[in-house]
Chain A
């Protein structure tokens, strides 16, 4: 512990203070002028990987805005939070995007939502709020009501290559798609040379809702609805943050139950992905078998928690529903059956030549780029980055189980498939170990009292990668600031690299390979940079060899 603190001594005068938020989280205070030096030190000397920037409107507390730059030191098993305080009346800070590509979104998000200026940021466009948003209104500032809605006429998104592009009359908000997100591929002939992405059409302002209207114990239920597939990770992560900030001792049994349900979620999420990946490849037989194998896992979740997907069993301090003795055998039985069917399926899948040929060597993300973008989860592990929150920053009951973290060096779509394939086996094994060791006792801490203005930070390994939450507690059992960063937030920007110079027909698969909450990416726009023509193409047609 002290080793880490003393390693900052070299920075003399540039660091104003170092504190431990808890065992695994170090908070370093610095000034905007010294930010570059501290960030360079962390990324170069300590091998820190960028995670996210958290912006806090703390004017009510100390008259300033806080920017908290988060880095994960995987090897040292610590998170470093670098905090700079910015003037309340005119907050500005140098942009770190020129140093770290992954910081681009975080900075634009904070600029949109909190109105902090990032000096020398390369991209002046909006990220989160719609183009027609009120000028000078920053939704996460405390004086803005959470009921405020966007106004003004619809203004189309302006892609950066606007000179080559014909305006789009009817864009990404397709009424039949599950989730609107907007990809634009810029192609030369049949090769992709760049991509544009505009998302956040369905940004629900959940953070604002949590800060403005909900109490501490209501947020887990909303957090769980952030993701439609792996929502439980958010609820666990949020609870961990509050428990850490308030120093609540969570009973062992509750920790085990959380880990167990998290692994069930990982299994069904990976199986879902595997099915969808087959579907994108035009291999619908594989899709159906993957989902057939997945279904009993959903039933298992329903039996244990009361619902297939929104488990709703977390409260700050533990869980609401105990694991019944008589269900344990059932869990083991179902998992054994799943494993059997799954083994057969994988054996078959990896024997289909067409599938393998499509996956191998496509969608390359070299290790150095993976670090620069700070990618997480299976995407990182397929690019030779051994990082897994369960091992690097253990939480729940993961310190008590043994499992392998699959890492591949090939950096391609095949590697990303193989990481997930192996993880399902590991998860089944983890659940069995947990059931073996399941301690007896209470499942919910008795005294849940949360003091005001305490900070907490925690991370959970979601099926898609590292999910992080930050909370500053507020008065009257509420949160003052709640920040969520889901894993796809780190992975989607890296598509720029994966899709560069890739054949058009591999694009849907590569987009799918990061498992970006999948429904988002059904349809895309293809722009021929030579002619400026735009085509709307369903993913499936593209996968089957569509040509402009």
Chain B
């Protein structure tokens, strides 16, 4: 039904290179997340797909049709803006009906009413329909703007951080709703976020964008379990991955300051490496290393321990509330098969 392909898209704004050779393929029914820090070029990517920005190089295909010269109206995509603007001089109903009233569609008013009511029910905003948009809360506005996208069946939903301006609780519930909506209607979605939790929880596939380039492209598992660079490794996962510089000595990577060593089955790949250890892969209680607990952060479902050994402080997560006390000296080990090795320039080995 719908299929979106970007081929080597480049876009410059004066001196800043916003996108560099970006290629993406979003399949039908897929929930695709574009994850990246601020200024990475996420919004620009969406705007190029929607036709609001013209790429300098490369091609956009929607359903295998070349769209490079097409007007936004003719591309049949829906856009939920980052800094959303509902049409302020219209009621919520008129906002939702606006895309359906487009001269391109010419729907009878009866069908418009039916579709608007349906969308409003899905998003639970039926009671707001007669209101002016200026009087809505942030969450309500965001529902309305999502509603304006789902009243029609566009080729693709482009959502630019639709949840980022909401408080944590609302964000969580809308996240679930959105995912549910996407799965029940089977709509292709390109969702932009800088929040790794949103990305990991919602995505079928994730592309990580940094400084206009796609760093990695894969399922949430790929991204989390096989990060292709230290940048990706640090971007996903809370608490952050531990990155430890180590040198090859006597058949293992060893840290210079502390007495840590990391075995690597297939031998030395480089003289010096960065070893990535996810906090949950640090196992306190048993192991070859000893360290002092310098901070305990109990979060309920899990507890974060900061363990200092030599000059290095490792983050460690244990599930549930832990009996480990501040200042305790304990032994710990690593889940050896889950270590990540990176070159000093950040590339995965």
Same assembly: no
